[in-house]
């Protein structure tokens, strides 16, 4: 294989920059949806129309702070999207290989636009849920194709930063959604329709973008279109001589083609380490509790005794912190390394969650609310939590699974990362409000325990991949790791319980 970390010549042309930014709108679509649901489910007009019982309970909130939003159907509104995304991400991985990345991105935006239309126009609950499912298919297609697209068209030396562009746009999407909700919360009675319908805007930009962007050279070569592949490579590298890199793509594709069934190969012994890492990072990412905050920030802040407006404003503040801190990651990831960022974040997230849990446990009873100072402290703690997530588990949960698989299992392995993200996002979205009702402040201790586990996992099991060329991961990383190297020795026992 040609690649041993060789750096090929390239310029960052206006066209390639446009390709990165247009594709990253897929992240914005995903983020917008993460951010919009919480605000919408806190709006009275929306609740009266679709969830009158929840609204009734909210009016009598004084009866129980922690349980006013606990309703399975209401949670299904938020979480059905992720179920649809989970199922569709496998279809999306097929679409990516058969049709290419570009048409898959086009399909993602088309589904999303349809989702926005149905959701905004909904008069019945089933239409609302149908809208969510269409949104979900859009997210499944987008999240599979966009990071793959960005990785494939990025020059190797900028791959980390370009990949994190996706996460940056996710955070921008969440922020924009919070701002939109802030604006529409006083727009009666159809503010919620505006919030849901505006999702069509980033999707529309992505739709137009998908017509402008190039297909990736790898995808073209993979589908036998070698001449077009070379033209595309010249265009995105901005130089005429791309022979060496093109040769590498041809070799990598030939190598990958030898593996007829990448999903089968994924369950072979030597694929276990990257597969465990990819799935665990996504599962842990969700068990930080980030989406309990992202989806339900306005609802959570209302639980803490903030008024509707103030709670949306607090969600805007956390959204801003989320975007700003993602930049830290873009600059630090290739200098400090992945492990340091993840471990530092574990400490900061743990302290924040424990402190929030303690304040709520001591000061927020089932009735009544927090006093202003304590409520402000909780908002600050939520910010320190979100900040550390944003420069670590957020972007690295996507980056590491995309860089640790060898070429032949990369797309199949990444599909597992995407679907693990979706299933655990679904679980958190579906369970959080009930957990809040039953565990009350202890929910923050629940997440703290997970943060401890994931810190230990990083210390012992996560290898450092900073600066390692993507095609020499097996030799340089996996075969050198004290635990994972056992999966590569020929004489290792067939059943591999680790001592």
- Site residues (CB under 6 A) for ligand BGC? 34, 167, 170-171, 174, 285, 290-291, 294, 322, 394, 397, 421, 425
Q: Which is nearer to ligand BGC, 16 or 316 (CB)?
A: 316
Q: Which is nearer to ligand BGC, 346 or 364 (CB)?
A: 346
DSSP string computed for 117-128 = HHHHH--SHHHH
Minimum Å gap between C-beta 284 and ligand BGC is 11
Residue 181's alpha-carbon distances to 175, 177, 286, 343, in angstroms, are 10, 6, 24, 34
Q: Which is nearer to ligand BGC, 291 or 348 (CB)?
A: 291
402 class by beta-carbon count within 10 Å (0-12 exposed, 13-18 middle, 19+ buried)? buried
Minimum Å gap between C-beta 164 and ligand BGC is 10
C-alpha–C-alpha distance, residues 305 and 303, integer Å? 5
C-alpha–C-alpha distance, residues 1 and 179, integer Å? 49
Q: Which is nearer to ligand BGC, 77 or 478 (CB)?
A: 77
Minimum Å gap between C-beta 295 and ligand BGC is 8
Q: Which is nearer to ligand BGC, 174 or 436 (CB)?
A: 174
CB 228 within 8 A of CB 100: no
Q: Which is nearer to ligand BGC, 34 or 137 (CB)?
A: 34
Minimum Å gap between C-beta 83 and ligand BGC is 14
Residue 431's alpha-carbon distances to 47, 174, 435, in angstroms, are 19, 21, 6
CB 437 within 8 A of CB 67: yes
Q: Per DSSP, which regions of 30-131 are E strands?
A: none
DSSP label of 268: S
Q: Which is nearer to ligand BGC, 171 or 448 (CB)?
A: 171
Q: What angle do CA 259, 210, 327 make, to 5 degrees?
A: 85
Q: How far apart are the first and last CA of the chain?
A: 35
Q: Which is nearer to ligand BGC, 155 or 202 (CB)?
A: 202
Minimum Å gap between C-beta 335 and ligand BGC is 21
Minimum Å gap between C-beta 196 and ligand BGC is 18
Instruction: Give the contacts of 494 (CB within 8 A, at least 6 positions apart).
Output: none
Phi-psi region of 495 (alpha: psi -120 to 50; beta: other; left: phi over 0): beta
Q: Which is nearer to ligand BGC, 324 or 455 (CB)?
A: 324
Minimum Å gap between C-beta 394 and ligand BGC is 4
Q: What is residue 334's three-state secondary structure?
A: coil
CB 129 within 8 A of CB 76: yes
Minimum Å gap between C-beta 440 and ligand BGC is 23
Q: Which is nearer to ligand BGC, 3 or 326 (CB)?
A: 326
Output the six-digit token pair for 474: 């097996």
Minimum Å gap between C-beta 494 and ligand BGC is 36
CB 400 within 8 A of CB 284: no
Burial 229-260 (b: 16+ CB within 10 A, else e): bbebbbbbbbeeebeebbebbbebbeebeebe
CB atoms within 10 A of CB 369: 18
Minimum Å gap between C-beta 27 and ligand BGC is 9
């Amino acid at each position: 294989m040609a690649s041993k970390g060789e750096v090929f010549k390239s310029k960052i042309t206006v066209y390639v920059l446009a390709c990165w930014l247009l594709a990253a709108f897929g992240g914005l679509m995903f983020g917008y949806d993460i951010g919009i649901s919480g605000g919408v489910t806190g709006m009275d007009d929306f609740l009266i129309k679709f969830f009158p019982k929840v609204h009734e309970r909210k009016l009598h909130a004084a009866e129980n702070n922690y349980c006013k939003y606990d309703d399975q159907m209401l949670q299904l509104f938020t979480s059905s999207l992720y179920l649809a995304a989970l199922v569709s991400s496998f279809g999306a991985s097929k679409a990516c290989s058969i049709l290419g990345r570009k048409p898959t991105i086009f399909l993602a935006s088309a589904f999303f636009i349809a989702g926005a239309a149905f959701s905004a126009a909904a008069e019945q609950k089933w239409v609302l849920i149908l809208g969510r499912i269409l949104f979900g298919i859009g997210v499944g297609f987008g999240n599979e194709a966009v990071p793959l697209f960005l990785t494939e068209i990025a020059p190797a030396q900028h791959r980390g930063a370009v990949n994190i562009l996706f996460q940056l746009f996710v955070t921008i999407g969440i922020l924009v959604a919070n701002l939109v909700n802030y604006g529409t919360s006083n727009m009666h009675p159809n503010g919620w329709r505006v919030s849901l319908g505006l999702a069509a805007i980033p999707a529309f930009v992505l739709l137009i973008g998908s017509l402008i962007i190039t297909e990736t050279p790898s995808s073209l070569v993979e589908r036998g279109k070698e001449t077009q592949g070379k033209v595309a490579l010249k265009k995105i590298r901005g130089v005429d001589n791309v022979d060496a890199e093109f040769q590498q793509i041809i070799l990598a594709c030939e190598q990958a083609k030898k593996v007829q069934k990448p999903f089968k190969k994924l369950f072979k012994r030597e694929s276990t380490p990257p597969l465990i890492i990819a799935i665990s990072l996504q599962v842990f990412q969700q068990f930080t509790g980030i989406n309990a905050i992202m989806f339900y920030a306005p609802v959570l802040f209302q639980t803490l005794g903030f008024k509707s407006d103030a709670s949306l404003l607090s969600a805007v503040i956390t959204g801003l912190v989320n975007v700003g801190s993602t930049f830290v990651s873009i600059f630090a990831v290739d200098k400090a390394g992945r492990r340091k960022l993840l471990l530092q974040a574990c400490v900061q997230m743990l302290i924040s969650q424990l402190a929030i849990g303690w304040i709520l446990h001591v000061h927020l009873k089932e009735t009544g609310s927090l006093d202003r100072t304590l409520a402000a402290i909780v908002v600050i703690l939520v910010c320190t939590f979100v900040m550390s997530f944003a420069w670590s588990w957020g972007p690295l949960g996507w980056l590491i699974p995309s860089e640790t698989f060898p070429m032949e299992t990369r797309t199949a392995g990444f599909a597992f990362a995407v679907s693990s993200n979706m299933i655990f996002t679904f679980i958190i979205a579906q369970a959080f409000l009930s957990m809040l009702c039953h565990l009350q402040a202890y929910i923050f201790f629940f997440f703290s325990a997970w943060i401890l586990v994931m810190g230990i996992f990083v210390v012992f099991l996560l290898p450092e991949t900073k600066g390692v060329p993507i095609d020499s991961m097996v030799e340089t990383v996996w075969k050198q790791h004290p635990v994972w190297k056992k999966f590569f020795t020929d004489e290792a026992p067939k059943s591999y319980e680790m001592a």
